[in-house]
Structure 1
Amino acid sequence: MTTKECKSHGGSSRKIVRRILWSIIGFLFIVLLTILLIWAILQPSKPRFILEDATVFAFNVSGNPPNILTSNFQITISSRNPNDKIGIYYDRLDVYASYRNQQITFRTSIPPTYQGHKEVNIWSPFVYGTDVPVAPYNALGLGEDQERGAMFLMIRADGRVRWKVGTFISGKYHLYVRCPAFIDFADRSAGVIVGDNAVKYTILTSCSVSV
């Protein structure tokens, strides 16, 4: 074989490799473009959360000044998938309560679940904290709330979700849910007594959701 023939053969091989690479790139581009177009047409909406009620089993403030908090709640929170063509995987969802931006309970994990089109899920987790020290800058407000017998809390849910469109499943997205809850402990008649010391309060508050 002459030198000229070797060069010609090598050039042909490089052309074939380049064609294969461009074919693969073109195929991947078409697939990604198709997914983006489907995503844009369907326009997935965020799930909608509602804090329905809270049953208070314990809420005790101690210390001088009052800066130690023990609490035990059972909340009912519902989530609705507003999409008619997109499902939602809740891979992780942790629920807890905060007071003036300070976490006052442990995180309670809700089992992973799948939410179908237009489907509603309802969860009733317990959230509690024992002898939680309240930050000094919140102690004054906590004392005032104790005297008034009412408190504004924020029920939070943090987690990871994925979207399902047909057979396509997206990557994981961070989900943030914030549900305001005003509870009047002084007025037991504002709720329903469900045990020796437990009172169930109807709240029905829409939650802010960001993904």
Structure 2
Amino acid sequence: MAERHRIHPAVDVEALLPSSSHAPSKPLQTQAAEKTDHPPPPPPPPKKRRSCCCRCLCWTVLTVVILVVIIGAIVGILYLAFDPKLPKYSVDRLAISNFTVDDNMTVSATFNLTVTTTNPNKKIGIYYRGGSHLSAWYTNTSLCSGTFPVFYQGHKNTTVLNLLLSGETQLGSGLLQELQQQQQTGTIPLVFRGNVPVKVKLGSLKLPKVTFKVKCDIIVNSLSSSNTISLKSSRCKFRLKL
């Protein structure tokens, strides 16, 4: 009996392989990583609130600029109208009625100071008020103190004042030895300081109270009450404290 052979159809191997035109799919972990690297952009801020803030800021800046311009204009008008000048001060004479040192190196001092104050303004008056403080210093040590008189100084006025300063202070041995050496050479530096509250009058308008701060550096030949005191030099500085 003849042997029968079965014929099997040929299998197309290339059809079973994935097509070369389709790229292999990426793993899930790689896809998740790509999504994490590029988060969605945040939502834009509300435009209405931002524009409101910008508008408020612009109005604030504009208001400040207008106020500065108005104040500058007022100051300029007052300056042209009154032509203000700073008052002048000078120490003309110093008399010492007492200057003694006891065994505890405590100095008792009484100074009689002659000061000339000048108001050079034609339309500005000065009211010198209470609460002033004057002091005499030797190398950062206050020797005595007093007050400035209360009075009104009119236009283009020069006034000579006699001021009394007295007090006690304790000097160190080194400072006292330095003072004795300067007594022998006839060159003793002193500093007079004054804080004086005043009110300035512009025409009929009184301004708020301010403080005149005066500092006078002088050099005298002696601090003895038995000797005639001569001023070798005198220089005063003035500034205004609001």
Kindly state the Cα deviation for residue 143 of structure 1 after the two structures are TM-superposed.
4.4
| 1:141-156 equivalence runs, <5 A | 141-156=178-193
Other-structure match for 2:137? 98
Other-structure match for 1:169? 206
Asked if the contact 2:216–2:236 (Cα under 8 Å) also holds between the matched residues in 1, the reply is yes
Determine which structure has the larger strand proportion and give its number: 1
Query: What secondary structure does 1:110 align onto?
Result: coil
In the superposition, the TM-score normalised over structure 1's length comes to: 0.67
Quick one: distance in 2 between partners of 1:96 and 1:102? 10
Asked if the contact 1:77–1:122 (Cα under 8 Å) also holds between the matched residues in 2, the reply is yes
The one of 179, 187, 194 equivalent to 1:157 is 194
List per-residue Cα deviations over 1:103-143 (Å, max 9, x = no partner): 2113x12331111111011111111223x113677455334
The one-letter amino acid paired with 1:103 is S
Quick one: distance in 1 between partners of 2:173 and 2:78? 48
Work out which structure has the larger RCO, using CA pairs closer than 8 Å and 6 or more positions apart in sequence. Answer: 1
Asked if the contact 1:50–1:204 (Cα under 8 Å) also holds between the matched residues in 2, the reply is no
Other-structure match for 2:124? 86
Q: May I ask how many residue pairs the two structures share in their alignment? A: 172
The one of 206, 211, 216 equivalent to 1:179 is 216
In the superposition, the TM-score normalised over structure 2's length comes to: 0.60
Over alpha carbons, which structure has the higher Rg?
2
Asked if the contact 2:220–2:231 (Cα under 8 Å) also holds between the matched residues in 1, the reply is no
Asked if the contact 2:129–2:199 (Cα under 8 Å) also holds between the matched residues in 1, the reply is yes
The one-letter amino acid paired with 1:81 is N
Kindly state the Cα deviation for residue 85 of structure 1 after the two structures are TM-superposed.
1.1
Asked if the contact 1:57–1:198 (Cα under 8 Å) also holds between the matched residues in 2, the reply is no
Identity of aligned residues (%): 24
Quick one: distance in 2 between partners of 1:121 and 1:35? 31
Other-structure match for 2:75? 36
Other-structure match for 2:158? 120
Quick one: distance in 2 between partners of 1:146 and 1:180? 17
The one of 21, 25, 47 equivalent to 2:87 is 47
Query: What secondary structure does 2:78 align onto?
Result: helix
Kindly state the Cα deviation for residue 168 of structure 1 after the two structures are TM-superposed.
0.7
Asked if the contact 2:128–2:198 (Cα under 8 Å) also holds between the matched residues in 1, the reply is yes
List per-residue Cα deviations over 1:125-170 (Å, max 9, x = no partner): 111223x113677455334334545421112221112211111111
Quick one: distance in 2 between partners of 1:135 and 1:177? 28
Query: What secondary structure does 2:129 align onto?
Result: strand
1:73 matches 2:111: yes
Query: What secondary structure does 1:142 align onto?
Result: helix
